[in-house]
Structure 1
Amino acid sequence: MHSSPPRSPADLLLIGIDFSSAPTRRKPITAAFGRRRGQVLQLDRLEALPSLAEFEALLARPGPWLAGCDFPFGLPRELVETLDWPRADWASLIRHYASLDRATIRAQFAAFCAARPAGAKFAHRASDAPAGASPSMKWVNPPVAYMLHAGAPRLLAAGLSLPGLQAGDPARVALEAYPGLLARELLGRRSYKSDELAKQDEARLIARKDLVDALEQGRSRLGLRLKLSHAQREALVDDARGDLLDAVLCLLQAGWAAEQPGYGLPPALDPVEGWIISAEFEAGSRG
């Protein structure tokens, strides 16, 4: 079972993290900070973290806080069992994964895929389909396997509480978020961002405006209304890469989880795989 969140959400700092496995000043990790008051989530500020060391420093900040992080916390159980990796608990798996370099990870994952039929090359976690997420073993487009490699061991080392995965400091809680889940609910398949300058077009600009409007009006099933200043709204709309908006989407998912029993996670969550918050699951399922 999962421990329940603090029952004074107005006092709980919420953080949404748009992660990069190789952050730079040009493409930093982005953190959005806010607080929930009833059904309103106020965005307080946005921070750029241009190095993994600065991400580690963020994780070390004293609580109470709850963070939604845009990177996988686990791997498909089918993959882990096929590779015969440690799976007695989440920490042993992550320590093993952290001990491998990227070339080894890529080689082992590629060999796993090569042995499987076309159309079913990748193994999936139980939350991938309901969240619409890429498999966490994918090493290109997007390289979420490397994001897991850079992010999860730092959560472990920081001693955070990861509900369903790791008991840690109850004042510093991290959950796996996925901004695409919330964006897709409100925009369908419309693209709202691109790292490629040639694709940073008017259609994506309009999509960002529509997405921000929907968040401010509270039109998602999360039931939260985002409160922004005029300057914050402009910043979210003007960021063609979508990093600021993705951090805010993760912030809203964290705000939703803060008021859910057991953070809204499946009661039988698989500690090898983890779960993406606000992805729907069937009652009684393994998660």
Structure 2
Amino acid sequence: MNALVRSPAPSVPLRGVDFSSAPSRRKPIVEAQGWRQGSVVHLQGWRRHASLPDWQDSLREPGPWIGGFDLPFGLPRELVVAQGWPLSWAPLMRHYTCQQRDDLRARFAAFCAGRPAGGKFAHRRCDGPAGASPSMKWVNPPVAWMLHAGVAGLLAAGVSLPGLHDGDPQRLALEAYPGLLAREVLGRRSYKSDDVARQTPDREQARGELLQALRAGCTRLGLRLQASPEQCQALCQEPRGDLLDAVLCLMQVAWSLDQPRHGWPPEVDPLEGWILTAPWAAA
């Protein structure tokens, strides 16, 4: 008689969050929800948060849950030293998130002005391997303000940021970056745009190819996305890519579940943090 083969038990609830530092009804924070079962990531659905207070309320929901958030969790050590700011993560973030953005913009602009062309910004060690914008960049995209608003919300909600800050062990937040996973499939092809004039059939086709790769498990994460036909249609047809970015974050945080240190390399600078699935060798 063949032994009964049991499928792996579902994991804790997962969240993938496409973040905005100035959410609105037109451009909300989008949260994909799901769970992992073995090598399959099940997409449950999405929630949209049209304001920062609404999003922060969701962070206070009881755990267990683990989220991957598309926002930087740290600043480059080089910048922090140059500014004379605290060299421990929690005091640094409390100091940074209490500063006025106009003052930060002036500080960052002065820092960049004294550096050579091509090296204006300071970078975290994870930026290069992930292909991410420097976390001090205040325009196109304004990731410095994403850090300013996002980390403040995470700290206020008492969430744990593994490797950086101890909070509620039942509610864990990890830094994700959907562009890293998207580029693995599409290279430099664009799959989204907030500009209506650039919401082209080519970008819709790219979203379809990216979704197909996720469903087939054709990425180095070794995971397959399970989504309903209606969910797949929404992922392909939403031209801003917010739904798809949230799902990419969901896949990245699902990958972290069976990784040592949630996928952090041992050598990570605890002031700067690390981006999920970024390869240490490329650093």
- Structure 1 letter corresponding to 2:70: D
CA distance in 1, matches of 2:44, 2:18: 16
Q: Which runs of 4+ in 1 moved over 2 A?
A: none
CA distance in 2, matches of 1:127, 1:225: 25
Residue 269 of structure 1: how far off its partner (Å): 2.2
TM-score (norm 1): 0.94
- Structure 2 letter corresponding to 1:21: S
CA deviation map 1:171-207 (0-9, x unaligned)? 1000000000000001001000000000000110100
Aligned residues: 276
Q: Matches of residues 32-47 of structure 1 in structure 2 within 5 Å?
A: 32-47=32-47
CA RMSD of aligned residues (A): 1.2
Corresponding residue of 1:98 = 97
Residue 9 of structure 1: how far off its partner (Å): 6.7
CA distance in 2, matches of 1:214, 1:54: 33
TM-score (norm 2): 0.95
CA deviation map 1:83-139 (0-9, x unaligned)? 11111x211001111111111111000000000011100000000000000000000
Report SS of the residue matched to 2:46.
strand
CA distance in 1, matches of 2:210, 2:72: 24
Q: Is the 8 A contact 2:11 2:37 kept in 1?
A: no
Corresponding residue of 1:174 = 173
Corresponding residue of 1:254 = 253
CA distance in 2, matches of 1:194, 1:23: 16
CA distance in 1, matches of 2:108, 2:19: 22
Corresponding residue of 1:73 = 73
Range with bigger deviation, 20-29 or 151-160? 151-160
CA distance in 2, matches of 1:94, 1:9: 37
Corresponding residue of 1:270 = 269
Corresponding residue of 2:17 = 17
CA distance in 1, matches of 2:272, 2:98: 18
Which consecutive residues of structure 2, in runs of 5 or more, have no partner in the other structure? 1-7
Residue 11 of structure 1: how far off its partner (Å): 3.8
- Structure 1 letter corresponding to 2:25: R
Q: Matches of residues 3-152 of structure 1 in structure 2 within 5 Å?
A: 10-87=10-87, 89-152=88-151
Corresponding residue of 1:154 = 153
Q: Is the 8 A contact 1:9 1:259 kept in 2?
A: no
CA distance in 1, matches of 2:50, 2:119: 36
CA distance in 2, matches of 1:165, 1:157: 15
CA distance in 2, matches of 1:82, 1:209: 44
Q: Is the 8 A contact 1:35 1:43 kept in 2?
A: yes
Corresponding residue of 1:5 = none
Residue 167 of structure 1: how far off its partner (Å): 1.1
Residue 263 of structure 1: how far off its partner (Å): 0.4
Q: Is the 8 A contact 2:192 2:199 kept in 1?
A: yes
CA deviation map 1:43-91 (0-9, x unaligned)? 001011001011111110111111000000000000000011111x211
Which consecutive residues of structure 1, in runs of 5 or more, have no partner in the other structure? 1-7
CA distance in 2, matches of 1:262, 1:80: 25
Residue 169 of structure 1: how far off its partner (Å): 1.0
CA distance in 1, matches of 2:210, 2:275: 21
Q: What percentage of residue pairs aligned between the two structures are identical?
A: 59
CA distance in 2, matches of 1:9, 1:243: 29
